[in-house]
Amino acid sequence: MRVLLIGSGGREHALAVSLASDPAVDHLIAAPGNPGIAQVASLRPVTATDPAAVADLAVEVAADLVVVGPEAPLVAGVADAVRAKGIACFGPSGAAAQLEGSKEFAKDVMAAAGVPTARYRACSAPDEVRAALDEFGPPYVVKNDALAAGKGVVVTSSIADALAHAADCGHVVVEEFLPGPEVSLFVVTDGTTAVPLMPAQDFKRVGDDDAGPNTGGMGAYAPLAWTPDDLVERVMRETVEPTLAEMRSRGTAFAGLLYVGLALTADGPKVIEFNARFGDPETQVVLSLLETPLAGLLRAAATGTLAAHPPLTWRPGAAITVVVASHNYPGTPRTGDVITGAELPGVIHAGTSRRDDGALISSGGRVLSVTATGEDLTAARTAAYALVDEITLDGSHHRTDIALKAARGEVTVPS
Ligand code: AMP
Ligand code: GLY
């Protein structure tokens, strides 16, 4: 099978490692890719958000399967353009990707499907925003309606900050705060059949003990020993199946990866967000534990044959990933700093590039993520942090507490 992978971040590097190790894959091409992905795939340039350019490239490289990593190409309709060429594509249509592309659309689908989620108001005018903030009370949750690369959401106890974020965004969703630990559940679907992967937990805040602003994600781990035994079965029944049915009934079936971001509240799991693609950095840990060959699974979803796919198998043990971020991230990150140690096994490239002289340099906010497995979370933490110590990047920072509370048995679900 010839697989073309679209994207250039840490999620795509993790996907590339898994796709390259699938014995059914004889050629892996990535576009535009990054220096880490170049270790396991041949790279081609492309503007990932240009549907015609991606579709032409898929034809040119004779792809049997195209896997679209990030949300922006999906929302732009890249999967539609690839399928129009008669090539199987893992990733939802532009219409279905609105589950991520518009927070208000996602809320509307959830309401129609009866999915448990935070109460909300969609608004633009400052007085409407103010009324919604007063209705739900602090902590205030204000979400940009449109895609914002993981930085569209402000959760704050300051009404001034909440109002300022709403004014910056224009059209927003204001919603009630959901207390409880967060879980990311990835579901592979062909639109009808849905297969859950292993739940993972992401760390959204920049600093240890969840201090500081939200980021795209500073680390992740799996499995989650502290979740209720029926969590996945319950979320599939209460959230995933009704959402997929609602999307089918609208004539825009969702096929691809449905990312369900949940808060485990005292009233049960409630949806914080949907994304239309694998999460980053959760993908790094989930895929490092998945034993089932990835390309076969994604091809089954892309060709509507998931019902015939064998059950997934998982490696024993635990995985963690720690993001190494640039100076000043999540503010405007400093780029162009030289990186050493990034060729070590387990180092996933996200924001890296090659300087003209061949040196590896930082080119984004989240530069690398360091992934390790172990017999339990404590062993995986020790291995991952030892690897973080092997990396040098001037001004970089990382969280030191990824999976720490879980390893100590200190994560609990409110009751
Ligand atoms: P999102 O981009 O929707 O994932 O939001 C980013 C982060 O903001 C989430 O991972 C949560 O940590 C937080 N968040 C979003 N919505 C809520 C909510 N209703 N209640 C509590 N936290 C939230
Ligand atoms: N880790 C959160 C996300 O991918 O949106």
Regarding the beta carbon of 100 and ligand 2, being less than 6 Å apart is answered: no
In a domain, 95, yes or no: no
Cα 40 to Cα 34, 65, 177, 197, 410, distances in angstroms: 11, 17, 42, 24, 38
75 and 9 belong to one structural domain? yes
Domain ends where: 308, 331, 357?
308
Residue with CA closest to ligand 2 atom 5 = 279
CATH number at residue 247: 3.30.470.20
Ligand nearest to the CA of 350: 2
Domain ends where: 308, 342, 374?
308
When pLDDT is cut at 50, 70 and 90, the band that residue 151 belongs to is: low
Average pLDDT estimate for 356-377 = 97
In a domain, 214, yes or no: yes
Regarding the beta carbon of 280 and ligand 2, being less than 6 Å apart is answered: yes
Domain ends where: 257, 282, 308?
308
127 and 86 belong to one structural domain? no
Is the pLDDT score of 100 beyond 80? yes
Average pLDDT estimate for 336-360 = 96
In a domain, 264, yes or no: yes
Residue with CA closest to ligand 1 atom 12 = 204
The 3-class secondary structure across 147-183, one letter per residue, is CCCCCCEEEECCHHHHHHHHHHHCCEEEECCCCCCEE
17 and 131 belong to one structural domain? no
Regarding the beta carbon of 136 and ligand 1, being less than 6 Å apart is answered: no
The closest-lying atom of ligand 2 relative to the alpha carbon of residue 278 is 4
Regarding the beta carbon of 150 and ligand 2, being less than 6 Å apart is answered: yes
Average pLDDT estimate for 211-217 = 90
pLDDT at 214: 87
Question: If you ran DSSP here, which 8-state letter would residue 222 be given?
Answer: E
CATH number at residue 356: 3.90.600.10
71 and 27 belong to one structural domain? yes
The residue to mutate among 177, 184, 272, 275, having the most atoms of ligand 1 within 8 angstroms of its beta carbon, is 272
298 and 324 belong to one structural domain? no
pLDDT in tens, 117-130: 999 998 888 888 88
In a domain, 210, yes or no: yes
Ligand nearest to the CA of 278: 2
In a domain, 397, yes or no: yes
209 and 191 belong to one structural domain? yes
Query: Are residues 324 and 391 in contact, defined by beta-carbon separation less than 8 angstroms?
Result: yes
> What gap in Å lies between CA 210 and CA 207, rounded to an integer?
6
151 and 190 belong to one structural domain? no
> Can you give the residue range of the structural domain that contains 333?
318-407
pLDDT in tens, 28-57: 999 999 999 999 999 999 999 999 999 999
In a domain, 375, yes or no: yes
In a domain, 252, yes or no: yes
Regarding the beta carbon of 275 and ligand 2, being less than 6 Å apart is answered: yes
pLDDT at 400: 98
Tell me how far the alpha carbon of residue 280 lies from the centroid of ligand 2, in angstroms: 5
Average pLDDT estimate for 201-228 = 95
155 and 66 belong to one structural domain? no
Total count of domains within the chain: 4
pLDDT at 144: 86
Cα 374–221–290 angle (5° rounding)? 70
Q: Which residues pair with 205 in a beta bridge?
A: 214
